[in-house]
Amino acid sequence: MKTGIKRRKAQVDRADCVACGCCVKVCPVQAIEIVRGVTARVNQDKCVGCGRCAAECPASVIQIREVGA
């Protein structure tokens, strides 16, 4: 049964990520990794939706979205 609770999660537009690693450094729960040196990937299970990565991303390719629980 769905609870209707919404959670905030970071999502990366991988096509425009420049793999600078800034988001990796600021994430407090180590939810982001750079995959194959070309793009950032968010572990949705770890992400707590704090928004730090989105604030730091120089390419503005991270968005915080509400997702269903």
Residues forming contacts to ligand SF4 in the complex (CB under 6 A) are 10, 12, 17-23, 26-27, 29, 31-32, 40, 42, 47-53, 56-57, 59, 61-62
User: In this complex, which beta carbon is closest to ligand SF4, that of residue 29 or of residue 67?
Assistant: 29
Residue 51 in 3-state DSSP? coil
Contact present, 17 and 9 (Cβ < 8 Å): no
User: In this complex, which beta carbon is closest to ligand SF4, that of residue 1 or of residue 15?
Assistant: 15
* Largest Cα–Cα separation, the chain: 40
Helices (runs of H) and strands (runs of E) counted in the chain: 2, 4
Nearest distance from C-beta of residue 5 to ligand SF4, angstroms: 17
